[in-house]
Amino acid sequence: MADLELAVVIGSFEARTGRQGDLAAVLAKYVVLTRRRPHCRNVDLVASASRPGRLVVIEKWESVAALKAHGVAPHMQAYRAKVKDFVNSMELRVLSPA
């Protein structure tokens, strides 16, 4: 697949006070399941060095279509239900090569 079809997602999550461990546990499980998805090239979970309580998920997909299919996968529905109690705010950015 041509690299021009890539979709990159940067998800930034601000944990509620005292809930970073809970949020990290849910996101870590999400990362493991997402790595198994067809057309997922990579996904990583990192902590912000400058903002305590902020976790960032970086994903790379073969295409926007693959990303959209992932968005409706069963593990995504379960993830959304679990993560909502641990998040103060969230921002998702979907990028593609320039």
pLDDT tens string 25-50: 999 999 999 999 999 999 999 999 99
The Cα–Cα gap between 47 and 57 comes to 9
What is the three-class DSSP state of 39? coil
Instruction: Pick the more confident residue, 78 or 35.
Output: 35
**What's the mean pLDDT in 87-95?**
95
Give pLDDT, residue 90: 94
Looking at residue 26, which CATH number applies to its domain? Answer: 3.30.70.100
pTM recorded for the entire structure? 0.88
Domain count, the chain: 1
Residue range of the domain that includes 64:
3-95
Q: How many CB atoms within 10 Å of residue 61? A: 27
